[in-house]
Amino acid sequence: MSITTAHDRVNSFVANPRRMFIGGQWTAAVSGKTFATPDPSTGETLAYVAEGDEADIDRAVQAARTAFEQGPWSRMTASDRGRLIWKIGDLILENAEELAQLETRDNGKPYAVALAADVPLAADLFHYMAGWATKIEGNTIDISVPYMPGANFHSYTLREPVGVVGQIIPWNFPLLMAAWKLGPALATGNCVILKPAEQTPLSALRLAELIAEAGFPDGVVNVVPGYGETAGARLAAHPGVDKVAFTGSTEVGRLIVQAAAGNLKKVSLELGGKSPNIVFEDAEPEAVAGAANAIFFNHGQCCVAGSRLFVHHSRFDEVVEGVAEIAKSIKLGPGMDADTQMGPLVSEEQLTRVTGYLDSGRTEGATTVVGGNRHGDRGYFVEPTVITNARNDMKIVREEIFGPVVVAEPFSDLDEIAAQANDTEYGLGAGIWTKDISKAHALAKKIRAGTVWINCYNVFDAALPFGGYKQSGWGREMGHEVLNNYTEVKAVTTQL
């Protein structure tokens, strides 16, 4: 598909209010309401979308339940299920330019990034998970049963789908988060209600079209756009939902846990971070670009952003100046402009939140080396920012900013840095830059985080488990680890 054809397709996709996808049908909200999703580079409305509410979630849960209990999905062979999931990956690649443009216009990220990263990673996730459909296995277990001497048994386990799964995703990687959630749920045979973020509902709705095109039975995947406080909250609390998977803020993660308590549905959470990125005295010069990428990629709107930069005191000035130079050179603009390197933040709310942190850093006495302000007066742009001279008790050091803002501080030795790196309520990611492999691996062991990158950052793969220690979450996404989140284990015993 040419870039212009993709452009025409996106224009026609956003021209009419988008409906929600329930039980294989495209429908308006029960209330008839729609909401606007803005183009963050201008603040103008990009599209109107059906506003899912409690009644729509209820319809979707019913459709998913019927598909799970009575539909062809539950009778399908694992091999056929895998083939369908593989097809989603293929269709994503066939429609790559269109999906990348949709993502860019709804979320704000540069088109080249959406095309090179978000879209192929989403396709690869489905391709990877397709293979797992035929590899979900139980065990045979030799049991002893001491209180039944002489008896013989045959025991085995079955790994079965959890059932009806609610999935609530954020706006920073809208298509990719949909893939991370849907891929493993489908590979293990569940039925899903996906609620995309209200800021970025469009690519998930286009993905639902592709899922229908792939030939999924009705009700296996339902996509209900809407707000968190209404549609999201109903999905998390719904008594007919067996499991909820959530990615987003730690604050809402707690609400999800409370809502799930009603029917004790299973919960997996991928929450915030305040990840340390550590540059040692013997780091290669690439550590400077690496540190900049760790925080500025996706405008800092990454749960795993390297937002606390620790640099050995002997290299501190050089690395901070280097990152500041890169920050100054980054070209901000609308994601669809070919020379744009950083787009706007996703929403006015995020603009207010991030500039609020910049103000609080200034008020509390930190030094802004570069950036520190909103960029322009149209759209939600923030300057890439480097801050030094912050204290550990400052909000900018403790809280997730979720913008292009890094706080740099010097350190002196290995023991000190492990303690500093772990001095956070989060535990999602960490970066280590050094030529000394023993030092790197020794520190990797000490860090309480789900991902550690050595001499690299932001390296993701469908085969690598991802998730958080501490308040960064429960469970892992991707890899074979995620399959545990979506299966129940049944032990079957026969007396012979």
Q: Does 166 bind ligand NAI (CB under 6 A)?
A: no
Query: Of 45-53, 178-186, 242-250, 276-284, which part binds ligand NAI (CB under 6 A)?
Result: 242-250
Residues contacting 48, CB < 8 A, separation 6+: 17, 18, 34, 35, 36, 37
Nearest to 346 by CA among 168, 103, 13: 103
The smaller minimum CB distance to ligand NAI, of residues 224 and 279, is found at 224
Which of 97, 98, 270, 400 is catalytic? The answer is: 270
Of positions 229, 284, 286, 416, contacts ligand NAI by CB under 6 A: 229
Q: What is the 8-class DSSP label of residue 73?
A: G
Q: Does 397 bind ligand NAI (CB under 6 A)?
A: no
Q: Does 198 bind ligand NAI (CB under 6 A)?
A: yes
Nearest to 83 by CA among 124, 137, 129: 129
Query: Of 61-69, 84-92, 190-198, 276-284, which part binds ligand NAI (CB under 6 A)?
Result: 190-198
- Please state, in angstroms and rounded to a whole number, the distance separating the CA atoms of residues 428 and 274: 8
Residues contacting 135, CB < 8 A, separation 6+: none
Number of residues lying near ligand NAI (CB under 6 A): 26
Q: Does 168 bind ligand NAI (CB under 6 A)?
A: yes
Tally helices (H) and strands (E) across the chain: 17, 24
- For residue 335, the minimal CB distance to ligand NAI (Å) is 18
Of positions 7, 159, 353, 470, contacts ligand NAI by CB under 6 A: 353
- Please state, in angstroms and rounded to a whole number, the distance separating the CA atoms of residues 327 and 349: 23
Q: Does 233 bind ligand NAI (CB under 6 A)?
A: yes
Q: Does 271 bind ligand NAI (CB under 6 A)?
A: yes
Residue 302 is among the residues annotated as catalytic for this protein: no
The smaller minimum CB distance to ligand NAI, of residues 383 and 400, is found at 400
Angle between helices 174-187 and 96-107 (to 10 degrees): 120
Confirm if 89 and 186 have CB atoms less than 8 A apart: no
The smaller minimum CB distance to ligand NAI, of residues 250 and 434, is found at 250
263 backbone dihedrals φ, ψ, rounded to 5° = -110, 15
Binding mask of the shown chain, residues 206 to 225, with x at each position contacting ligand NAI by CB under 6 A: --------------------
Confirm if 467 and 477 have CB atoms less than 8 A apart: yes
- For residue 295, the minimal CB distance to ligand NAI (Å) is 14
The smaller minimum CB distance to ligand NAI, of residues 53 and 400, is found at 400
Angle between helices 437-446 and 414-421 (to 10 degrees): 40
Of positions 24, 52, 161, 232, contacts ligand NAI by CB under 6 A: 232
Residue 303 is among the residues annotated as catalytic for this protein: yes
Binding mask of the shown chain, residues 95 to 134, with x at each position contacting ligand NAI by CB under 6 A: ----------------------------------------
Q: Can you give the length of the chain in residues?
A: 496
Q: Does 248 bind ligand NAI (CB under 6 A)?
A: yes
Q: Does 360 bind ligand NAI (CB under 6 A)?
A: no
Q: Does 247 bind ligand NAI (CB under 6 A)?
A: yes
Q: Does 396 bind ligand NAI (CB under 6 A)?
A: no
Confirm if 288 and 256 have CB atoms less than 8 A apart: no
Which of 191, 303, 383, 399 is catalytic? The answer is: 303
- Please state, in angstroms and rounded to a whole number, the distance separating the CA atoms of residues 371 and 358: 9
- Which residue's Cβ lies closest to ligand NAI? 228
Nearest to 398 by CA among 469, 459, 471: 471
- Please state, in angstroms and rounded to a whole number, the distance separating the CA atoms of residues 172 and 229: 19
Residues contacting 186, CB < 8 A, separation 6+: 81, 84, 85, 129, 133, 192, 220, 221
Residues in region 296-325 near ligand NAI by CB under 6 A: 303
Strands 469-470 and 25-27: unpaired
Q: Does 462 bind ligand NAI (CB under 6 A)?
A: no
- In which residue are the tokens 């400077």 written? 288
Q: What is the 8-class DSSP label of residue 393?
A: T
Identity (one letter) of the amino acid at 448?
Answer: R
Of positions 71, 82, 110, 228, contacts ligand NAI by CB under 6 A: 228
The smaller minimum CB distance to ligand NAI, of residues 188 and 230, is found at 230
Q: Does 252 bind ligand NAI (CB under 6 A)?
A: yes
Of positions 115, 236, 267, 452, contacts ligand NAI by CB under 6 A: 236
Q: Does 61 bind ligand NAI (CB under 6 A)?
A: no
- In which residue are the tokens 């958080």 written? 468
Strands 469-470 and 426-427: antiparallel
Of positions 35, 111, 402, 457, contacts ligand NAI by CB under 6 A: 402
Contacts with ligand NAI by CB under 6 A lie at 168-170, 172, 195, 197-198, 227-229, 232-233, 236, 247-249, 252, 255-256, 270-272, 303, 353, 400, 402
Catalytic machinery residues: 270, 303
